């Protein structure tokens, strides 16, 4: 058994330089599934594999409270977010999110359409409608950046679905801020500070909206997702303070807009492997879902997740000191030939007739979303990606010359060009 003895160099700088390759590089050198290190000046242990994921998501071993670095809380998740809770507090807060995906609030948006009705399916319907409405405008402005345009489509759809009142002219700026929240968590540079400013701006905006709900402002839809968050009571019976409620509203809206990354990756995949286009056009549910899962496995999004050891532990022959940071590799696991044959080949068929182990495919966490830290919005991500991949396969467009490389030092990664498309106006 190895231990954290002697001087160990800090791995923070190599992480900044190596990006998604940081942990896979360590696996190659160590030839083990548990590697001790130092990160941000603290002892840490990195783990990989489905059994490591089971260990990581067991709250008897690893907790999330106090584990997220301040830069990530101040950009991606927000202070006081559900992601920072454990135990009963986490389960009660998370139940609110899960209910929003399945309930049918009796609310009406400014357009007269019931807000949140039908759960995930209704959000997908709104996103597809917003996409169809946007396509003729893309043709008029071609070429357009698909990543940016998708972010605007999803911003419009999710705000309408949740009951957040946003005028059409406000959508581009809001979409830009929501993208910034995701784009800035993995850097210490200008993208990070842009994300901090965006969070302060949008939390203040949504906190004011929560106050209006609690004053029964008739302009805010009664029974909408906005109202559900504003009226939610935590495990101790108290309402969320307006700023924390704003944080959780952003944790519904932001991940939905983050699907823009996966849509850009889907376009990248269809450009590199156009043979999948016809199968998507056929809209076979099994293949569209398999395609969505392969996009989430193959392309880089979250490099790893982290927590802190509850007590002195051991995993894979490695000592894990109490309080040490515990990292679970995601990108490396998704490209490990032990679990995914020919892992650097884009093969949606690998997901056909296969039951997915909840600790194998981890783009949005592992385990049970109802009880653990797996993202409750994963169903939204998969459903939106399935639907928009089909729309993308039907989109009459070409890709002009551009830089479609995906730099793995950039977290989160995306095609450099954002996928520039020239769209032809629909006929008929």
- What percentage of the chain exceeds 70 in pLDDT? 90
Close Cβ partners of 378 (under 8 Å, ≥ 6 residues apart): 363, 364, 365, 369
CB atoms within 10 A of CB 148: 17
Measured between alpha carbons, how far apart are the two ends of the chain, in Å? Answer: 70
Residue 371's pLDDT is: 56
Residue 186's pLDDT is: 80
Residue 1's pLDDT is: 42
Residue 411's pLDDT is: 93
pLDDT at 372 over 60: no
Mean pLDDT along residues 204-208:
96
Strands (E), 296-419: 304-309, 313-315, 318-320, 325-329, 397-398
Residue 366's pLDDT is: 84
Residue 373's pLDDT is: 56
CB atoms within 10 A of CB 238: 9
The helix/strand/coil state of 421 is strand
Q: How many residues does the chain have?
A: 428
Q: Is the peptide bond before 143 cis (omega within 30 degrees of 0)?
A: yes
Question: Can you give the pTM of this predicted structure?
Answer: 0.90
Q: How far apart are CA 209 and CA 100, in angstroms?
A: 18
Q: How far apart are CA 67 and CA 59, in angstroms?
A: 13
Q: How far apart are CA 50 and CA 383, in angstroms?
A: 24
Q: What's the DSSP call for residue 373?
A: S
Kindly state the helix (H) or strand (E) to which residue 43 belongs, with its residue range.
strand 42-47
Q: Name the residue with higher pLDDT: 186 or 415.
A: 415
- What percentage of the chain exceeds 90 in pLDDT? 67
Mean pLDDT along residues 162-176:
96
Residue 374's pLDDT is: 66
Q: Which range scores top for mean pLDDT: 75-89, 135-149, 185-199, 372-386?
A: 135-149
- Number of Cα atoms under 13 Å in the Cβ half of residue 74: 11
Q: What is the mean pLDDT of the chain?
A: 88
Of 98-102, 165-169, 372-376, where does mean pLDDT reach its minimum? 372-376
Residue 110's pLDDT is: 36
- Confirm if 84 and 77 have CB atoms less than 8 A apart: yes
The helix/strand/coil state of 21 is helix
Of 45-54, 127-136, 279-288, 352-361, where does mean pLDDT reach its minimum? 352-361
Of 222-231, 331-340, 378-387, where does mean pLDDT reach its minimum? 222-231
Residue 106's pLDDT band, with cuts at 50, 70 and 90, is very low
pLDDT at 266 over 90: yes
Residue 8's pLDDT is: 58
pLDDT at 118 over 60: no
Residue 254's pLDDT is: 94
């Amino acid at each position: 058994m190895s231990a954290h003895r002697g001087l160990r160099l800090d791995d923070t700088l190599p992480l900044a330089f190596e990006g998604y390759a940081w942990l896979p590089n360590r696996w190659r050198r160590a030839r083990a599934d548990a590697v001790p290190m130092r990160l941000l000046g603290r002892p840490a242990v990195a783990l990989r594999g489905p059994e490591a994921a089971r260990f990581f998501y067991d709250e008897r071993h690893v907790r999330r409270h106090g584990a997220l670095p301040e830069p990530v809380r101040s950009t991606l998740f927000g202070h006081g977010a559900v992601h920072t809770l454990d135990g009963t507090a986490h389960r009660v807060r998370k139940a609110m999110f899960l209910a929003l995906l399945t309930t049918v609030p009796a609310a009406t948006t400014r357009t007269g359409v019931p807000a949140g009705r039908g759960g995930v399916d209704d959000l997908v319907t709104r996103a597809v409608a917003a996409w169809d409405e946007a396509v003729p405008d893309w043709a008029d402005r071609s070429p357009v950046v698909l990543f940016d345009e998708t972010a605007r489509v999803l911003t419009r759809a999710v705000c309408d679905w949740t009951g957040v009142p946003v005028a059409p002219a406000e959508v581009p700026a809001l979409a830009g801020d929501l993208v910034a929240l995701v784009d800035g968590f993995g850097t210490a540079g200008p993208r990070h500070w842009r994300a901090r400013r965006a969070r302060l701006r949008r939390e203040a905006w949504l906190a004011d909206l929560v106050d209006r709900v609690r004053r029964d402002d008739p302009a805010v839809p009664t029974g909408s997702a906005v109202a559900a968050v504003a009226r939610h009571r935590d495990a101790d019976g108290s309402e969320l303070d307006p700023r924390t409620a704003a944080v959780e509203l952003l944790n519904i809206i932001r991940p939905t807009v983050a699907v823009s990354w996966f849509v850009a990756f889907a376009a990248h995949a269809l450009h590199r492997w156009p043979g999948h286009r016809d199968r998507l056009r056929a809209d076979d549910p099994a293949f569209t879902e398999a395609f969505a899962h392969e996009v989430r496995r193959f392309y880089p999004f979250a490099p790893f997740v982290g927590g802190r050891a509850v007590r002195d532990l051991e995993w894979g022959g490695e000592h894990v000191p109490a309080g040490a940071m515990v990292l679970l590799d995601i990108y490396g696991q998704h490209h490990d030939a032990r679990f995914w044959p020919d892992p650097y080949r884009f093969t949606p068929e690998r997901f056909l007739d296969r039951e997915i182990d909840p600790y194998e495919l981890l783009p949005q966490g592992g385990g049970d979303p109802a009880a653990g830290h797996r993202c409750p919005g994963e169903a939204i991500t998969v459903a939106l990606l399935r639907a928009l991949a089909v729309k993308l396969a039907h989109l009459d467009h070409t890709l002009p010359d551009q830089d479609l490389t995906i730099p793995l030092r950039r977290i989160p990664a995306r095609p450099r060009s954002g996928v520039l498309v020239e769209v032809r106006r629909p006929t008929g």
